[in-house]
Amino acid sequence: MSRSRLEQETIILFNEAEDVAEVYTHKKSWIKKLDQMCKEFPNQVWLKLFDDYSKTYYVSKKLISVRKPIVLTDKQKKERAKRIKNAN
């Protein structure tokens, strides 16, 4: 049974008492990244549950962050586009 895009959630849940967050996701790119992190950093990321569509991981809260967006001026955008074009 496939899920609608609306049902394909990613949920990050943590509290102040514990050092780990629970990450539940359907997003394939996140699953791939978290699976790799499980192999590389087993003390900080490990698999809790999985099914045919999603996986749930425990992740050290130190790895969870919220960042401000990067705001570029038109000049900076043009400079970046030029660098990318020259790199190719």
Say what the pLDDT of residue 3 is. Answer: 81
Helix (H) or strand (E) holding 32: helix 28-40
Is residue 16 a part of any domain in this protein? yes
5 within a domain of the structure (yes/no): no
2: in domain: no
The percentage of the chain sitting over the pLDDT mark of 90, rounded to a whole number, equals: 86
Q: Which domain holds residue 38?
A: 10-87
Tell me: the pLDDT tens digits for 14-36?
999 999 999 999 999 999 999 99
Tens-digit pLDDT profile for residues 6-18: 888 999 999 999 9
* Domain tally, the chain: 1
Confidence of residue 63 (pLDDT cuts 50, 70, 90): very high
